[in-house]
Amino acid sequence: MRDFFVLSVFVFLMPLDAYSYIDPGSGSFLLQTILAVGLGAAYLFKTKWSDLKIVVRGLLSSRKPTMPELRESSESEEKSNAGR
């Protein structure tokens, strides 16, 4: 209820006309930011895919992964990346 009151006060105190504009470069910046976040997430998933699989398997199974399994996974990934 308190949040509704605070929001109501802000809405009623806000001016109706905002004499401003969106610069053409702002749209370009927004697009660039969205692309950077998307590509960053894709790179993160690509590089950490095996660790992510272990965590998801651990969450879905009743048996929790042990530290040696995590180490083996990262060592096998390092070996596969070394050949590239």
pLDDT tens string 41-76:
999 888 888 888 888 887 887 665 566 666 666 666
Tell me the HSE value of 81 on the side-chain side, using a 13 A CA sphere: 11
Q: What pLDDT score was predicted for residue 4?
A: 83
pLDDT at residue 8 tops 80 = yes
For 11-24, give the DSSP string: HHHS-S-------H
pLDDT at residue 22 tops 70 = yes
Average pLDDT over the chain reads 78
Q: Is the pTM of this model over 0.85?
A: no
- Domain limits, the chain: 48-84
pLDDT at residue 32 tops 80 = yes
